[in-house]
């Protein structure tokens, strides 16, 4: 089963083209180390939250945009070996010195998919979601995620992926745990919903929120929905 390295960062809006170029330059380096796919998505509809939100997750400034990205590996072993090699790769180290954003505020972690349904392909729009789920509720979350995915695909989503936190480190400035105020008894879930376009996503969600099945699931959520962080993202790179 594939393994996902997930990232969220804050990038100055004026550095969008520089970030795209930076990401494009990193693709061959990641693939040389065994990665099979790299996706970078630019924040388009990232709302403020009452308790948590993606902007606060990376301490984004008013002139910065949140990006949601991931690198896919064929398995955890390949990812772990890649991360070890990166620490001594001259090209990677040089790239790290010239990032067009504050890398200290980037959050990252390794995740193992527990729900992956729908068609593969390059999405036209992406909903990125981060959730803190009690470890004991893993099976309940998976079951609910399967049911939600069926409804989302019925209303236009092409693929839904939920990945369970496997290697989510503590950070010095920011991290995934802080993003959702996770407790020691909780795991981080890195999720995405893929849509053919932003228009399809907006129309789809209008129908999803009114669906009785979703309203019922909201009453049975095996996690604290008030701490979920989410946003809509436009693909910037998918290779």
Q: What is the pLDDT of residues 55-104, one digit of tens each?
A: 999 999 999 999 999 999 999 999 999 999 998 888 888 887 889 999 99
Q: What is the pLDDT of residues 157-199, one digit of tens each?
A: 999 999 999 999 999 999 999 999 999 999 999 999 999 999 9
Which 8-state DSSP code applies to residue 188? E
The CATH class that applies to domain 3-238 reads alpha beta
% the chain with pLDDT above 70:
100
- Host H or E run for residue 92: helix 90-97
- Angle of helix 90-97 relative to helix 16-32, nearest 10 degrees, comes to 170
Q: What's the pTM value of the predicted model, to 2 decimals?
A: 0.96
SS3 11: strand
Q: Region of 118 please: left (phi>0), alpha (psi -120 to 50) or beta.
A: left
Domain chopping of the chain, boundaries: 3-238
**Predicted pLDDT of residue 91:** 81
**Model confidence band, residue 1 (pLDDT cutoffs 50, 70, 90):** low
**Predicted pLDDT of residue 144:** 96
SS3 149: helix
Please provide the distance, in angstroms rounded to a whole number, between the alpha carbons at the two ends of the chain: 19
User: How long, in residues, is the chain?
Assistant: 239
Q: What is the pLDDT of residues 11-33, one digit of tens each?
A: 999 999 999 999 999 999 999 99
Q: What is the pLDDT of residues 101-152, one digit of tens each?
A: 999 999 999 999 999 999 999 999 999 999 999 999 999 999 999 999 999 9
């Amino acid at each position: 089963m594939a393994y996902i390295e997930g990232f969220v960062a804050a990038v100055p809006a004026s550095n969008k083209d520089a970030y795209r170029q930076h990401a494009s330059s990193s693709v061959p380096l990641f693939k040389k180390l065994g990665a099979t796919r790299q996706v970078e998505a630019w924040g388009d509809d990232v709302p403020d939250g009452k308790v948590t939100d993606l902007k606060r997750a990376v301490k984004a400034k008013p002139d910065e945009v949140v990006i949601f990205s991931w690198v896919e590996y064929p398995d955890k072993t390949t990812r772990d070996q890649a991360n070890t090699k990166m620490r001594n790769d001259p090209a990677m180290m040089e790239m790290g010195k010239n990032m067009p954003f504050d890398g200290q505020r980037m959050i990252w972690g390794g995740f193992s998919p527990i729900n992956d349904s729908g068609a593969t392909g390059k999405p036209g729009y992406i909903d990125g979601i981060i959730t803190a789920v009690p470890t004991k509720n893993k099976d309940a979350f998976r079951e609910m995620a399967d049911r939600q995915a069926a409804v989302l695909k019925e209303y236009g989503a092409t693929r839904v992926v939920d990945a369970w936190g496997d290697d989510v480190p503590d950070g010095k400035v920011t991290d995934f745990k802080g993003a959702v105020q996770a407790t020691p008894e909780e795991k981080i879930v890195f999720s995405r919903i893929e849509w053919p376009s932003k228009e399809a996503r907006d129309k789809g969600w209008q129908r999803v929120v009114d669906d009785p099945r979703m309203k019922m699931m909201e009453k049975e959520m095996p996690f604290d929905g008030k701490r979920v962080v989410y946003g809509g993202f436009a693909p910037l790179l998918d290779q």
